[in-house]
Structures are given as C-alpha cells and as structure tokens.
Amino acid sequence: MKNLMFNILLVTTGVCTNLVADDHGTLTFQQANEVGRAKSRFLKGVDVEEKGTEAIPEANVADYQASVGAILNKNCLACHGPEKSEGRLRVDELNSDLLTGPDVERWREVYNVISNSEMPPDDEPDYALADADRGNMVDWLSAELNKASLVRRNTQEHSSFRRLTKYEYNYALQDLLGLPYALANKLPPETVSEDGFKNSSELLQMSIMQFENYREIGLQALKRATVSGQRPEAVTYILSAQEEMEKLTAGDNAKTFDTKDESNRKQRKQQYLLNRETGKGIPFSGGKVMPRPEAIVGLSPAVSPVVHILHRNNELKLDLDRFLPDEGILRVRIRAGRSTMNPDEYASLRLIFSAHTSNNANFSQAISEHDIPVTASSDNPEFIHFDIPLSDIQRNPFRKLTTTFPRRDEFLHIRNVSNAPGGEEALQVLIDTIEISAPFYEQWPPKSHTDIFFASDNKSDEAVYGREVLNRFLKRVWRRPVGSQELDQFMALFVKYRPEFSTFEDAMLEVLATTLATPEFLYLIQRTTTGETQDPTGPTKISELEFASRLSVFLWSSIPDDELLQVAEQGTIRNPEVLTAQIERMLADPRSRRFSQNFVQQWLGLDALNNLTHVSDDSLKEAMQEEPIAFFDEVLRHNHSIMDFIHSDYAMVNERLAAHYGIPKVYGPQFRKVSIEPQTNRGGLLTGAGVLAMNSDGKDSHPLKRGVWMLKRILHDPPPPPPPNVPEVDLTDPEILKMTLKERIADHRNKAACVSCHSRIDPWGIAFESYDAMGTYRTHVKNEPVDATSELFNKQTLAGMDGLKRYLLTDRQDQIARAMVHKMTAYALGRPLSFGDSADIDNLTGQFMRNGAGLGDLIHLIIRSNIFNSK
Amino acid sequence: MNNKSASLNRRTFLHGTGLALALPWFESFAAASPNPDETPKRFVSVYHPDGVGLPLKSDPAWKDWSWFPRGGEEDFELTKVLDVLEPLRSDITIYSGLSHPASRRVHGHSNADQYLTGAATGGHGPYANSISLDQVYAEHAGNLTRHASLVMSTNGGVGGPRGAQTQSFNREGRPIPAMNKPKQIFDMLFVTSSKDAAARLARSKSALDLLIENTRSLGRQLSSRDQETLKQYLDAVRDTEVKLAKAQRWIDTPVPEVDTRNLHLDAEPKEARLYFQTMYELIYLSFLSDSTRVATFQLGRENGEGPHDLLSQAVGLGGAHGLTHDVKAPDGWKNLGTYNRYQAEEFGRFAQRLKETPEPTGKGNMLDNTLAMHGSASSSFHLSRNYPIISAGGSNFGFTNGRYLKFGKGNEDNQAGAGIVTDAGWQGNVEVEELPLAKLFVTILQRLGVETDSFAGETGTLSRV
C-alpha cells in the first residue's frame, strides 16, 4: 500500500513537471529526438568546409575600444598610468589583443583584482567602479582570457607518440605473459588532462622513478610467469561434510538434532551439517582442518547425502593453521547447490582471509575478486572454484614463528552472499565437499612458462635456443619483426650474464626483463622512415604495424595479439573487409570491456566517486561506478544512438541500484537492461546516481558542479576556471541562510564579478535539482517543493531534468555528437586535439550523424578515419 | 642452490636486511650531492608500546607516578617518571594533547602501526598503511649517506597488520623490516660490503648501456618532436646510471671505523640494559660516521610477549605489558612508572651522548643537529589519545627546548581517560580536543628541509613548537 501511494505521488509530480511551459513540453522524448535530428546541420548533406567549424577565435578589440578602455582610463589610470604606475602597471600600455599580444599575464592580474573587487581600493571613492562597469570589464576579460588560453592550447600540435599509461602497461604485461594479476600497482597514478583523459601524450612523463619501477616490475612479472625445477608438492586440505558428520557424531555427547522436528528451529537457524537422507543435523560452522599429504585434487567423488548448510550472509570459517605456502595459486574448489531455485533469488560465494595479529586486533580481507554465483540445484550440485595468488594477499606474517604467540594460524572464510529473505523455506547453499590446494598448477610447467621457454630441438644449444627464445619474445614485446642485429645486441647481454647464473633460464630472464624496459615496449611508436609511400599533400600515414598497436591500445588498452600482428605484417590490415572483421573480432573479445571501462571512467570523470564519503554503502558505490560503464557497453554492443546517453527508456541496473532507483523486481548483483517507466525519472547518463552523487557537496546537490560537469563532459564546452580567491558563500550570514539554494545561487550570480560565468553554468545545474546528493529523486527539499526550473542565458526555459533532456535532444544534437566524436577521437589517439584537427572531427561527426549516430559505427568510423591512420 | 631466491631483486634484498641502501626513490636526485662541509640534519624516533601511567588526581600515586609533568610551559615540574631527564631539561620538549585523529577510538594494541604514519589503520577488516615520517625524510636525505635509513626494533621483522614490529613504512605503505640483532646491524653498518650487490650493479650497468644504444637507434627513426619526448626516457636511463655509479662508489668506499668499546654485540633483550645501550650506541655510531641520518627503533610490540616483555627486567620487574594491566595492584602505578622511567633514562643517556659529542663539522654538538623523538601511541590503558611524546635536540634547525607544550583544549591536567583499566576507556567518546600529531610531523619535516605542508592528510604546522 505504501508503495502504491508513493507511486501515485510520483506520477502526479511527473505530470506537473510536464505541464510547466516550455517550447517542447508536449513532445515525447522520442519526438524530441526526431525533431532535433531533423535540425542537424550535419544531415543537410553539405560536406563540411575544409577548415572545420571550430574557427580559431579572434580577439574582441572592438569592445575594448567601445567601453573597457574608457572604464580603465576613468577608474584606473590615475594610479596605473603615466603619472603614477603602482605595481609597475600602466593600463594605458596594455595591449588590448590578448590572443596575440604580449600582455596576457598582466591582464589576468587585472581580471583577478577586478573580479574580486580588490580594485579600485575602497579608500579611493573617487575611482569607485560602478557595478555595470565592473560587470562589463569582467565579461570582456573573462571571454578574452578564455579565448587566449584556448588558442594557446589548441594551436599547439600534439603527437600520438607516447608511453603507455599505467593501466595499459599492466594489461600489456598481463597479455604478454599470460598472468591475470595486477602487476603494475607500484607505478604512480597518471595525470589527468583537461579533457579528463589519462592517456594524453603531453602528460605521460618519464622519470627515473618510473623507469626503475618498470625494470623491477618487468623482472618480477617474468619470475612469476616462469618456474624452475620439479613441480612443487601441493599442500591440500579436504573438507568432506560426510566425514565431519562422522567425526562429530562419533562421541557420546553428540549434539545431533532432528531437523524435521519443529522444536529444533533454533538449531536450524545456525550453520549445521545435514544428512539429507535421515534428516539428522548437527551444529557446525567450520574449525580446524589439517593438510592431507596423500590427497588427490580435482576429482568428482559421488555426491554425499551429508551437506553443510550455509545460510545467507553466514560464513564457514576454516582454520588452515600455518601450512599454506608463501606463493603460487591457492585453488579453492567447492561443490555447492541451492536449496531452492527461485530465479529472483541468488546465492553466491565469497572467500575471505583473516588472521589474529594481536589479542585485540585482527585483519580480514575479501580475497576473491568476484562473488561466484551458485546456480546448480542441491540435487545436482556442481563444483565452483576460485584461484587466488597467495603472494598478492595479506598473509599472517607470524605464521613462521617458533613460538605460539602471536597466533600463527590463518583462516579461510566461505561466505554466502545472497539477496534471499530469511524464513523457513529460505534459500541456502548446500556444500558437500571443499578442496583447498596450493600451489595449484593447471599443468607443469605452466603455460606461461612454456610460452617463453618453448619446446625446441635446439634446446641443448644455448646460443641457438637463446636466439629463438629472444626472437619470439621480442617480437611480441615490440609488436614487430625483429632484425638480426637487434637480436645480436641482446644475445651479447645474455652471454655476459650467463656465467653469473646457474641455469640458462635465470640468465635469460634478466635479458628478457631488459627488453621490457625498452622504449619500444613502453611507448607507442610512430617512425618517420618506414618506407611508406608518402602523400606530400596530406599527413603521413603510420605503418601497418604501428596501426595495429594503435588499434589494440584503443580497443583493448593493450598490445596486439598474434592474429592482429599477422594481418599487419602481411599488409592486409587496412583492407576494408579485413579491418571490419578485425574490429568486430576485437569488440567481441572480452578484452574490449577494458575500452568501455577506461574510456567511460575518464570521459565522465568517475574517479571522483572514489573520494566520496557520503556514500557509505560499498555495494551502492560500486553499482554507481559500474552503471555508466554498463550503459555505455550496452549502447556500444547494440549500436544504439548516442542520444540514448541523453535519454533512454531503459536502464542498466543490478539489484542494489534498482532498489536505489525504486525499480522493482531486479534481483542479483549482475547488471542487466530493464525497461523503465517515466515516473522512475531515470534513463540516460545524466540521471545516473553516480554522476549525481559525485557532483554534490556531500550533503546536498551541487548545481554548479553538475552544470560544469554537463558542459565539460557532455557538451564539450568547458567554462573558464573560476578566478582565484572566489569568496565563499557566507553561511554565517542569516540573510543568506534564509534563502533556498536556488536563491543563494542567484544571489551569488548577481554579483557583477560572477554573473558572466555563472549565468552560463548555473541554469544547467539547477535543472538537476530534483536529485539529491545520493542521486535519489525528490520532490521536496526541506519541506519546500523542489524548484528545478531555470532559464538558460539564451532565454530558453529548462523545466527540470525532463525539460533539460528535451532541450538537449531538440536543440543540441549536433553539439552532443561532435562532443562525443571529439572525446573518443582524443582518447583513441592518446593526444589532445588541436584547431588543426577540427575539419577531421567535423567530417567524422557528419558521417556519424548521417549513419544514425550509432556508437558501434563511431568506433569503425574513427578507426578508418584519416586522423586515426596518420601520424 | 636455488638461484631464484639468491637473485632476489635489489630492493627486496636490501629491505630484507632492514637497511635500505642509499637508493631511495628520489626524483630530484641529481640536485642533491653530499657536501662534506654541510652539517647533517638527523632524525630518530623511538617508540615504546603500551603507553604510560596516568593515575587520577585523587589517586595517591598521582603526585609521583603520573607520566606528564605538572605546571606551565617553562616552569614545568617533572614527576618521578621523567626526573631522570632533569639534567637535559634545556634540551628536551615534552608534548601533550597530540594524537592521530583516525585512531582515537581504536584499541591501543593496534596502534604501533600508525604512530609515524597517521594512517587510518583501524582495528579489524582490510588493512592499509601509508608512508612513515622517517621515510619521508629518508626520501629527502637518504641518498646523502651509505644507508637511507636504519630501521630497528627489539622484536625484528615487520610484525603483522595491527601488530607492527617496525616503525617504518615505505611510500606504498608497506612495512620495512626492522633489524633486531646488534651483531647483524653492526656488520651491516661497519663490516661488510656486499659482493652480490656489486655483481647486480655490474649487470644493471650492462643493461643500461644496451638500453641507451637501443634508444639512440630508435630516436634516429623518429620525428624531431617525438625525439624530444624520447629524450625524457633517455634522461631517466642516464639518471639511473648516475645513481648506480653512486651506489658503486659506496661499495668501493671502505666502511668507517668506529669505536666499539660500548658495544655488546651479543646482547639479547633479556639482558635489557646491555641490549638497550648497545642498540642506542649503534644509532649513535651510525650518526657519528654519517652512515645514515634517519633511524627508528621500536621497543617491542604492543600486547607484550616476545623480547619486549623482557625489557622491564632491567628494573627488576615482570612482563612489561602486564605492568599496564596491573596499575591498580599494590605499587602498580609505581611499577609502571619505574619502567617508563627506565625507558626515559636510556633515551636520556643517548641524548646526553649526542650532546657531549661535538659535531664533526664543528657546528655545535651532535644533539643540536639531531631531532630525537621518544613516544607511544597510547597514554592511559589501551587509550589511543594524548600520546606521551618527548623530543630532544634539533636546536640548530629551529627547535626551542626546555618546554612543556600542551595542545588541545579541556585536558590541561591530563585527566581525560586517567586511571582507567577497562575497555570502556578506549571505546569511549572523545570528549576533549586534541590536535593532530601529523601537524607536528609537518613542522619536523619542514625544519629538516623537506618542502611539504601536509602529512597524512593534515595540512599545516603546529604553532608554538
């Protein structure tokens, strides 16, 4: 009943919003989209002019002559002129062209003191500046300064020659060596460009610390990928529910109970072992297990009638004592089934590792990367397994003590993470067998080893075999065939190292580690002398092999695989059919998920979510982080129009986020597409809880942040940065405290110094006001109805979020499309775009819009574009 | 022999020894080269677990056995716990009202980990730490000496999360193993020079030569603009070469000869007095020979057991940790106070020795050029507030001593949490105002010459220091 009431309320307010007068208030979103598309300049079929639309700004000297110059003369010249030149500033000598003139830094100082009302000084009433004059000056100066910085930034040509980012380097190393672990945590984080990208060439610096880290990480990773000697004996624990039951019931005082007896409800609420045939139960929640030297792992014994009953959010805690090895893979294999099969309920397993380091302190940490769902029924249980790299998790450092304090044992917890409600027929996980074994090897030597030290007839001849090993490895490291002389260099190093090591492999690893520190591994290379036929009129093309690397870094954030290298080497990679097939193959590969994740995180600035303190529920924060990525991925995989980013009639949610949005009947931790009703007030990226929460101040919404975010990320029209020392809104002033947020903003905006920028930002942000700091939809703030209606500087009224979306769809499609093309091209090239790229971007946007603005098409268009194929 | 373990990478190897060789991650490395005429600035921090005695005013033991002095900034009066420092009165500063905010409600047993880091290490669940004060300074000054820092504790190694046996944590928040055997420390400082290290350096040298050659030939195939970018890489390789050459120089330079009369290299913690004095003497000798300028020393681990519990035998008392639990027993406060007094006495002896030694460069005495801290991350029973801290020296770089500096508000007589022996104390609400200890750390770093204005998320220095 409560829910129903709530829905009615929402519907009513939804209607109210629609009734607010604006030009497009009566259009559905789909109609708005059609209206907007019809207006697209890019669809008029005219090929865009050579120079591009992003014209190079020109200085507005006219306004200076008309008003600003006169104001300066009247109010400033007396102290900053020929008579007196305080602060060595003469306003009469400043060049009024900020774009090409030499005085831009002095102008910036003028701007700062004028906008902060520091000048003219209070004690010079004769020269006091009228509000209108101050406003004029600030307007002119902020516009000119912004243009000047735009010009400075965008006239500079940038190269795509750059080193790999931290995350790309990590993936490259993982793919190269076949190691699925985080290898590059040591590297410092990357600096973020003005566009929000971490892969921007001009910011990817190299330093001694960076370089030393590469050398160290490379050698360590190689040592992890390879092995020596005999296969190590594994330490194996086996927990069989049947055996535990036998042990527990052996004694005289066994606490056995009849699970079918209603009076034993209390015991049934705890964890216990159950004989499904007899209905006998006995309390059990883990305990000490010891390694079994003779155990064989990987078997599938007959399913036992005795099972361990694990309720939701309960943990089976096993004391493994101190026998787990220091490194290698810990494989935990669990045969589990579900007690009930209601598809709306899920149960999954998570591993947690802990130890007691002091009598009042312990540590515990989830060691499984993802919870693994239990999907089999209890009648046909199936094995699920976890592989945990032991050297990467926090271990009990006291495990090797000879004394017994501090405690030396280590604990493995198996937790049932579930959304199932409690009650008599609740979903439980039934487990009959657990195998814990380390170090675990799929094969010996492992594949990661034989990929480097492969079988060869020449193995006995170190000089020959060494060359073979180097050649194969170096080809993948450099993403190109390796010359004989180049091999000589590294073989010489090997010969030098060899006497210091007892085995061929150990010496070779040091040499291979050196190849991982070469610039051709760490950088994306574009050579000038590749023998390409050069078109003297156009930009130079990159070679096929360089193209392959650029492509794989774009779509996989990593180095090319063998197939991609092969078509590049054969010279067919740019054949339209071959290229289409390769792009499709790459997008279908799980590695392309890295693209969605890294591009979206950077494009939307999702890192900001990591610093939020007001979202304390980790599963919600994770879902907030994931939603835009899943949404992007959905649009990409189905080649939907990017206008879905503005509004969609579906959402990508999991159970946690659906609950946050009030979307019913979404169960489970995985994200999926669901249709949504208008009264949900979601759809698209703008209403994602993550975007809304990160653009808030921790307590309430933050219209300014939201407006700036919108302009920067979606419209690619970033406002100029605020002047320094902007006065904070004085919250101790009782007059200000009385105002609503919107009034406060208006009050601030009405200050002459602030109005020019704020009138361009605030209205966008105010349209988001129906969402609070958690991104929850609201109709009231402090008992006052939400006022989310605003007027843009162009007098356009935005009636809340729906109004904003309609306006964007009807009037801003070209801008949104161009922004998307711009952002993704900058990311694909790994460099900032300049004025010189403007024509290319316009061209691409035209093709993109004509194709229907499908996100999948955009990937193909960019990869085929001139700009992506050129240096 | 298994070559894999023998060829542990350089840093693992060095960390494993408890001494980081003079190869810190130091960016502006090229700018800093040792100048023999320049007076070193040194930093040492001594940590003792389990806090100090803090009886209530109403307790008869208060007058003699409350750790904190009574009185004002300059006219303070030391109780029997610290009266052993009276001869050094003008060389020391005593602080109250300081603690790390993130751990004020965490059990004292978990807090040795965060004393020098200020990280929110907590009491249970996932664990992460951050760089310690000494290591920030070691990043700055570590390349001027053979060893970047000297990390010692009575128990040795790293301990465990929330059971640290080292005070030093690196930039990634990982613990740096502490050395605890005097003989080993001495050998590392004054006897050995590693053959292995020399071989590794030679290998690195060859690898760098190859990389430079390889980079040059690549550079010839790039546009001039891209060559500029590649130059950064080449510079990084060259800087590494310079650094290796420097490390090589240390290997080639004979270790200093020192006066070993006061050393008892076989002393063990159960011979507490000899052991203490030897460990302090090793710090003294490493400073005197300018083998390092940074040291930490942890006297045991929180929660007793192990060597630390034996230290109180120096004053004829039972397990050190038990003393904090037994304060309400007959002579309880006195016993704890007597042990704390002994700790202060050894610290004082060390400070005195620095004071009596003229600085080799002629600028004052060694104490004037050393900031020596002594403290704990708990005061009263398991209470992670109002850390009892003493510093000595540093007068040549800005420290004015002879003062008792009270910070915060509402606890001027150090009675908040006094006299407690139950967990209600450390779990209770924070009712008085204390200042973040990290602000003192910023002050210290700035005076040591590190350009920074924040530590562990706290910005700004501590006034009056």
Domain containing B447 equals 3-192+255-412+430-459
Residue-wise pLDDT for B154-164, tens only, equals 988 888 889 89
Cβ–Cβ below 8 Å for A357 and B160? yes
**Chain B stretch 24-43, residues whose beta carbon is closer than 8 A to a beta carbon of chain A:** 25-27, 29
Read off the pTM.
Answer: 0.82
At A771, phi and psi to the nearest 5?
A: -125, 130
Closest residue of B to A204, CA-based?
B229
pLDDT of residue B305: 63
The reply to whether B245 falls in a domain is no
At B21, phi and psi to the nearest 5?
A: -60, 170
Residue B399's CATH number: 3.40.720
pLDDT of residue A606: 96
pLDDT of residue B300: 85
pLDDT of residue A725: 54
Look-up: residue for tokens 């190109």?
A480
Residue-wise pLDDT for B193-212, tens only, equals 567 788 889 999 999 999 99
Which among B6, B2, B1 is positioned nearest to B199, based on CA atoms? B6
Inform me whether the C-beta atom of residue B77 falls under 8 Å from chain A C-beta atoms.
no
pLDDT of residue B36: 62
Give the one of A228, A363, A527 whose C-beta lies nearest to B124's C-beta.
A363
Give the span between the Cα atoms of A853 and A453, in whole angstroms. Answer: 48
Give the span between the Cα atoms of B232 and B27, in whole angstroms. Answer: 13
Give the span between the Cα atoms of B311 and A700, in whole angstroms. Answer: 55
Cβ–Cβ below 8 Å for A510 and B203? yes
Residues of A in contact with B206 (CB under 8 A): 493, 496-497
Q: Which two tokens stand for residue B139?
A: 């990043």
Identify the bridge partners of residue A781 per DSSP, sorted by sequence position: A784
Residues of B in contact with A361 (CB under 8 A): 107, 109-110, 123-124, 161-163, 303
Residues of A in contact with B25 (CB under 8 A): 209, 212
Nearest chain B Cα distance for residue A547, angstroms: 16
Residues of B in contact with A228 (CB under 8 A): 2-4
At B367, phi and psi to the nearest 5?
A: -65, -35
The reply to whether B294 falls in a domain is yes
Cβ–Cβ below 8 Å for A163 and B214? no
Complete DSSP assignment for A655-704: HHHHHHHT--S--SSS-EEEE--GGG---SSTT-HHHHHHTB-SSSB-HH
Cβ–Cβ below 8 Å for A490 and B126? no
Complete DSSP assignment for A394-414: ---GGGG-SSSSS----EEEE
Q: Which two tokens stand for residue A805?
A: 């979306």
Specify whether the CB–CB gap between A831 and A160 falls below 8 A.
yes
What fold characterizes domain A235-438?
Jelly Rolls (2.60.120)
Give the span between the Cα atoms of B465 and B449, in whole angstroms. Answer: 16
Closest residue of B to A188, CA-based?
B172
pLDDT of residue A63: 87
pLDDT of residue A25: 56
Longest alpha-carbon distance in chain A: 109
Closest residue of A to B1, CA-based?
A502
pLDDT at B15 over 50: no
Give the one of A358, A492, A523 whose C-beta lies nearest to B302's C-beta.
A358
Cβ–Cβ below 8 Å for A361 and B110? yes
Residue-wise pLDDT for B303-344, tens only, equals 766 666 778 888 888 788 888 888 888 899 999 999 999 999
Given phi > 0 = left and psi -120 to 50 = alpha, else beta, which region is B386?
Answer: left
Residues of A in contact with B160 (CB under 8 A): 355, 357-358, 363, 396-398, 406
pLDDT at B9 over 70: no
Residues of B in contact with A474 (CB under 8 A): none
**Chain B stretch 328-387, residues whose beta carbon is closer than 8 A to a beta carbon of chain A:** 382
pLDDT of residue A23: 53
pLDDT at B1 over 50: no
Helical segments of A519-588, H only: 519-522, 544-556, 562-570, 576-588
Structural domains of chain B, count = 1
**Chain A stretch 378-407, residues whose beta carbon is closer than 8 A to a beta carbon of chain B:** 394, 396-398, 403, 405-406
pLDDT at B39 over 70: yes
Tell me the average pLDDT across B438-445. Answer: 98
Residue-wise pLDDT for B341-371, tens only, equals 999 999 999 999 999 999 999 999 999 999 9
3-state DSSP assignment of residue A137: helix
Cβ–Cβ below 8 Å for B25 and A209? yes
pLDDT at B26 over 90: no
Residues of B in contact with A397 (CB under 8 A): 157-160
Give the one of A207, A364, A403 whose C-beta lies nearest to B125's C-beta.
A364
Tell me the average pLDDT across B433-452. Answer: 97
Give the span between the Cα atoms of B432 and B430, in whole angstroms. Answer: 6
Closest residue of B to A212, CA-based?
B240
Select the more confidently predicted residue: B299 or A55: B299
Give the one of B125, B215, B223 whose C-beta lies nearest to A519's C-beta.
B215
Which of A464-478 are b and which e, b meaning 16 or more Cβ less than 10 Å from the residue's Cβ?
Answer: ebbbbbbbebbebbb
Cβ–Cβ below 8 Å for A529 and B237? no
Inform me whether the C-beta atom of residue B124 falls under 8 Å from chain A C-beta atoms.
yes
The reply to whether B220 falls in a domain is no
Cβ–Cβ below 8 Å for B232 and A205? yes
Closest residue of B to A503, CA-based?
B3
Which among B121, B154, B65 is positioned nearest to B380, based on CA atoms? B65
User: Which residues of chain A have a pLDDT value below 70?
Assistant: 1-25, 45-55, 116, 529-539, 723-734, 737, 752-753, 756
Q: Domain map of chain A by residue range?
A: 1-34+701-806, 61-154, 157-228, 235-438, 447-502, 541-588
Cβ–Cβ below 8 Å for A526 and B222? yes
- Please, what sign has the CA dihedral across residues B107, B113, B116, B122? negative
Cβ–Cβ below 8 Å for B25 and A212? yes
Tell me the average pLDDT across B33-40. Answer: 71
Inform me whether the C-beta atom of residue A610 falls under 8 Å from chain B C-beta atoms.
no
Select the more confidently predicted residue: B320 or B294: B294
Is B268 buried (19+), middle (13-18) or exposed (0-12) by CB count in 10 A?
middle
Number of residues written out for chain B: 465
The reply to whether B424 falls in a domain is no
Inform me whether the C-beta atom of residue B319 falls under 8 Å from chain A C-beta atoms.
no
Residues of A in contact with B237 (CB under 8 A): 211
The reply to whether B390 falls in a domain is yes
Task: Count interface pairs A-B at CB distance under 8 A.
Answer: 172
Nearest chain A Cα distance for residue B71, angstroms: 36
Give the span between the Cα atoms of B374 and B448, in whole angstroms. Answer: 17
Give the one of B7, B211, B243 whose C-beta lies nearest to A514's C-beta.
B211
The reply to whether B31 falls in a domain is yes
Residues of A in contact with B302 (CB under 8 A): 358
At B303, phi and psi to the nearest 5?
A: 70, 25
Nearest chain A Cα distance for residue B223, angstroms: 6
Inform me whether the C-beta atom of residue A540 falls under 8 Å from chain B C-beta atoms.
no
